[in-house]
């Protein structure tokens, strides 16, 4: 049940929106943004502990996910999410930061950099969504983002999904890499399976492409250092659709392709993820402790 997974960090109030932020460590600021359907626990499971000796690390639950309130029922855009998180970062007294985004969180990191460049000293994209794609998303997103599907199907899924289906779904996200032992129990899948969260998440994802297209027209504004880690075997956010064309378009980008790695590079290749973050900080002049 969701009550088994309470907030692990601080609850902020931005206007009428509650924002959950988990912060640890000391040093230059580093912000972590999770992917679709996720929450801060994806980072506190392992990656955050690898970084807190050199950075003050703040992981945010994105709007409508984890313990952060939704902004509206229509599927928040990356820019809307970045705006409320920027207000939360100001409230917390964060300085210029390395902003790390995984998957959908990569799109939010880019929107944050476009609209609040003083905050984003550098970006690290972990298999991030960054470019428009051809075709439609799966029927799952169409059904759950519709009014009828959100009202009827989402509550059934939230109530009736057995554990083996959850485990198979998580394994699918990690494929071809293994799921780390203990991840499914730690991540708080019950938070993602709440009916409201299912509706919000699917609407965000289903509405993402036009926002990405509008953002791509502004990528010439991005001058800060950008590091990308992307697996060559990622079936969810394909490398050749997103990170390769983005790197060709934005000169400040350094792309590291991880051969045979899927959609969760920060779990499959944590050491290379830390190296990319430290590289991004160094390129931005954010000096960490040795």
pLDDT for residue 209? 95
Query: Mean pLDDT in the chain?
Result: 90
In this prediction the pTM is 0.91
Domain 9-135+209-283 in CATH 3.30.1360.200: no
User: Is the predicted pLDDT of residue 151 greater than 60, yes or no?
Assistant: no
Q: How far is residue 141's CA from residue 207's CA, in Å, rounded to a whole number?
A: 10
**Predicted confidence band of residue 62 (pLDDT cuts 50, 70, 90):** very high
Task: Decide if 191 contacts 142 (C-beta within 8 A).
Answer: no
**pLDDT tens, position by position, 207-224:** 999 999 999 999 999 999
pLDDT for residue 290? 56
pLDDT for residue 150? 40
What residue segments make up the domains of the chain, in order of their start? 9-135+209-283
Mean local confidence (pLDDT), 249-274: 98
pLDDT for residue 153? 38
Q: Which of 7-11, 67-71, 190-194 has the lowest mean pLDDT?
A: 190-194
Assign 3-state DSSP to the chain and report helix, strand, coil percentages, each to 5.
45, 15, 40
E-assigned strand segments in 25-173: 29-33, 56-60, 97-102, 120-126
Give the up-direction half-sphere exposure of residue 115: CA atoms within 13 A in the CB hemisphere: 19
**pLDDT tens, position by position, 266-278:** 999 999 999 999 9
Sign of torsion, CA 151 156 161 165? negative
Q: Which of residues 167 and 197 earns the better pLDDT score?
A: 197
């Amino acid at each position: 049940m969701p009550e088994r997974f309470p907030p692990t960090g601080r609850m902020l109030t931005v206007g009428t929106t509650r924002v959950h932020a988990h912060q640890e460590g000391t040093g230059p600021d580093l912000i972590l943004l999770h992917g679709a359907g996720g929450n801060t626990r994806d980072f506190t499971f392992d990656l955050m502990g690898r970084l807190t000796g050199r950075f003050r690390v703040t992981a945010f639950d994105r709007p409508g996910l984890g313990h952060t309130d939704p902004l509206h029922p229509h599927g928040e855009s990356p820019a809307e999410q970045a705006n409320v998180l920027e207000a939360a970062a100001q409230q917390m007294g964060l300085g210029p930061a390395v902003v790390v985004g995984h998957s959908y969180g990569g799109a939010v990191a880019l929107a944050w950099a476009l609209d609040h460049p003083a905050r984003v000293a550098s970006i690290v994209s972990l298999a991030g969504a960054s470019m428009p794609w051809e075709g439609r998303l799966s029927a799952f997103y169409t059904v759950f983002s519709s009014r009828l599907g959100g009202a009827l199907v989402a509550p059934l899924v939230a109530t009736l999904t057995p554990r083996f289906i959850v485990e198979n779904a998580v394994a699918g996200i990690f494929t071809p890499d293994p799921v780390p032992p203990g991840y499914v129990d730690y991540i708080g899948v019950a938070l993602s399976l709440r009916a409201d969260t299912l509706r919000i998440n699917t609407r965000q994802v289903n509405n993402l492409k036009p926002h990405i297209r509008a953002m791509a027209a502004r990528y010439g504004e991005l001058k800060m250092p950008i590091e990308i880690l992307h697996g060559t075997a990622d079936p969810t956010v394909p490398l050749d659709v997103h990170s390769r064309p983005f790197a060709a378009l934005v000169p400040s980008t350094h792309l590291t392709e991880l051969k045979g790695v899927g959609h969760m590079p920060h779990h499959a290749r944590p050491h290379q993820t830390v190296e990319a973050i430290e590289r991004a900080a160094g390129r931005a002049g954010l000096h960490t402790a040795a």
